Amino acid sequence: MRILSMQPKGFRCSAKNVGIKDSSLDFTVITSDVPAAAAAMFTRNRFCGPAILVGREHVSDGRLQAFVVNSKNANVATGELGLANVHEIVDLVAEELSIRPQDILPSSTGVIGRQLPMEKLRQGISGIGQQLCYGHLEQAAQAIMTTDTHPKMHCCRVGNATLVGIAKGVGMIEPNMATMLAYFCTDARIDAQQLRDCLRDAVEPSFNMVSVDSDTSTSDTVAIMANGLAGDVDLAEFRRALRDMCLRLARELARDGEGATKLIEVSVEHAASVQQARRVAKSIVNSPLVKTAIFGSDPNWGRIAMAIGKCYEQDTIVPEKIDIAFGYIPVYRRGCAVDEGHLSALKNYLDHDEIVIRVSLGLGEVGARAWGCDLTYDYVKINGSYTS
């Protein structure tokens, strides 16, 4: 985790254990001293949790003043009681912070189908208004984790302003808007519509191009608050900074995928459209056969060819125009396998902990990248006993 001393002005945080599952941090509040411009994107999973429903409603006016997140329990498929519990948490936190309930964005992540332990949460929320401290967002990054092996956080300067981002999620990951949560805080002054545009522009090539296991979570949320306390910034510079931070966090999520030993980056070039490039990249990074081959350092490029070919809706794809390489070692070039003399070099390359698969479709001038990880015995072990 990369933690810098810089923190955006006017943001306070409290992270604590309320006992949802174990003794690790499992509840956090991040709040701005003043109402902030805000934007968010959420999962498209139709089985989404009540926190998503409430969050969509609360951020719809482009204003927030706090994020409230619990881990270890997703509060999904919990009916009317689950929804009532979200509203109660929001109301309790609003009272502690002396802010409007509708200015709070709630999130929950963890096991699906279990009611929140409300008595524990009520006790944990009591007095939290007095426990908030400036900074300490690295503790919030820990409190939102479930099966992550380490917290993810990045900071940067944009003119006189600071941007901080935290994220979690290493299983049930294929965002479609990422179980994935990401929160950004900045003291830059940016209006809500510009913030929405910047966030959408940043999420599409980053979180929406990550896949650990092709499963779109019921709880995916990416949200940002900009409280304006550092004044105006160059919008183009801010847009680039947010996009770069999302890309960094997305790569970290993929690298830390459940049980993962290798980061996989798929780079698709010379596509007819960005949509085509993204579709092919995702098809490759999602293939269990590709992922297991990478785990075993097996240079079975035929699995990559299969993953490209099963994008059958992309009728412009022509095998005779395609090139495939591991790193910069070619394995297939425009209709023919490349000489097997590369086998030793391929095996050595695939023993690395970061693997790049390069594909040229030979159709145009645009491309896309996707990130994922290998599929290991530990992924099965983790998810075979997740609720126990």
Position 144 in a domain:
yes
Pair 82, 208 in one domain: yes
Residue 3 covered by a domain: no
Q: Do 84 and 182 fall into the same domain?
A: yes
Judgement on whether residues 219 and 277 belong to the same structural domain of the protein? no
Q: Along the 388 residues of the chain, how does pLDDT read in single tens digits?
A: 344 457 999 999 999 999 999 999 999 999 999 999 999 999 888 888 999 999 999 999 999 999 999 999 999 999 999 999 999 999 999 999 999 999 999 999 988 999 999 999 999 999 999 999 998 899 999 999 988 889 999 999 999 999 999 999 765 544 554 457 999 999 999 999 999 999 999 999 999 898 877 766 777 899 999 999 999 999 999 999 999 999 999 999 988 888 899 999 999 999 999 999 999 999 999 999 999 999 999 999 999 999 999 998 877 999 999 999 999 999 999 988 887 667 888 989 999 999 999 999 999 999 999 999 999 998 888 878 766 6
Instruction: Please check whether residues 268 and 354 belong to one and the same domain.
Output: yes
Residues of the chain above pLDDT 70, percent: 94
Question: Which among 266, 268, 270 is positioned nearest to 366, based on CA atoms?
Answer: 270
Say if residues 251 and 211 touch (Cβ distance below 8 Å). Answer: no
CA 150 to mean position of chain CA atoms: 14
CA 113 to chain centre: 22
Nearest C-alpha neighbor of 298 from the set 371, 360, 354, 349: 349
270 and 249 in a common domain? no
Q: Of these residues, 43, 179, 186, 221, which one is catalytic?
A: 179
pLDDT per residue as tens digits for the range 26-35: 999 999 999 9
Q: Please choose, from the candidates 120, 164, 167, 162, the residue with its C-alpha nearest in 3D space to the C-alpha of residue 143.
A: 167
Identify whether residues 232 and 276 lie together within a single domain: no
Whichever domain contains 77, its CATH number is 3.60.70.12
Q: Which residue ranges make up the annotated binding site for substrate?
A: 146, 168, 179, 258, 383, 388
Q: Is the same domain home to 276 and 190? A: no
Residue numbers of the domain that contains 143: 11-255
Q: Looking up tokens 């030979």, which residue turns up? A: 362
One domain, residues 70 and 170: yes
179 is known as an active-site residue: yes
